[in-house]
Amino acid sequence: MSIWKTVLTLAVIFAILTGLGFWFGPKIYKKIQPMLPNQKTPETIVRVELPSRGDLVELIQAPGEVEPKTKVELSARVSSRITELPFEEGDTVPAGAVVVRLDSTDLAAALEAATARRAADAARIQVQQARIESSKAGLEGTKASLRQALTDLERQQSLLTTGDTSQSAVEGIQQRVDELTASIDASERGIKADELNLVVMKHSLEVADAEIAQARDRLGDTVIKSPLTGILTKLNAEVGEMVITGTMNNPGTVIIEIADLSKMLLVAQVDEADVGGLALGQQATVRINAYPDQEFDGIVESIALTHDLSREGSKYYKTEILLRTDGQRIYSGLTADVDIETLRHPDIIRVPSQAVLARKVDDIPLSVRDGNPDVDMTKTMGTVVFRLVDNKAIVTPVTIGPSDLTHTVILSGLSDDDQIIVGPYKVLENIAHDQACKDEKVAAAEAEAEKREAETKGAEKDEGAADEQAAPSNDDADDSTTSENADDEETTVASKANGAEG
Q: How confident is the model at residue 481 (pLDDT cuts 50, 70, 90)?
A: very low
Element (H, E) at 242: strand 242-243
Element (H, E) at 144: helix 105-162
Percent of the chain with pLDDT over 90: 57
Q: How confident is the model at residue 36 (pLDDT cuts 50, 70, 90)?
A: low
- Evaluate if residue 374 carries a pLDDT over 90: yes
What is the Cβ-side half-sphere exposure of residue 16, based on CA atoms within 13 angstroms? 6
Question: How far is the C-alpha of 338 from the C-alpha of 295, rounded, in Å?
Answer: 10
Q: How confident is the model at residue 373 (pLDDT cuts 50, 70, 90)?
A: very high
Q: In 3D, which of 273, 277, 322, 272 has the Cα closest to residue 302?
A: 322
Mean pLDDT of 430-441: 94
Domains detected in the chain = 106-220 (1.10.287.620), 348-442 (2.40.420.20)
pLDDT digits (tens, 9 = 90+) for 135-152: 888 888 888 988 888 888
Query: Which DSSP category does 404 fall into?
Result: -
Q: What phi-psi label fits residue 434: left (phi over 0), alpha (psi between -120 and 50 degrees) or beta?
A: left
- Among 62-71, 358-367, 470-479, 480-489, the least confident range: 480-489
Which letter, b or e, does each residue of 412-447 get, where b requires 16 or more Cβ atoms within 10 Å of its Cβ? ebbeeebbbbbeeeebbeebebebebbbeeeeeeee
pTM of the model: 0.59
- Tell me how many degrees the CA angle 458-462-464 measures, rounded to the nearest 5: 115
Please provide residue 387's backbone torsions phi and psi, each rounded to the nearest 5 degrees.
Answer: -95, 150
Question: How far is the C-alpha of 60 from the C-alpha of 291, rounded, in Å?
Answer: 21
Residue type, 88: E
Pairing of strands 92-93, 315-323: unpaired
Q: Tell me which of 253 and 417 has the higher pLDDT.
A: 417
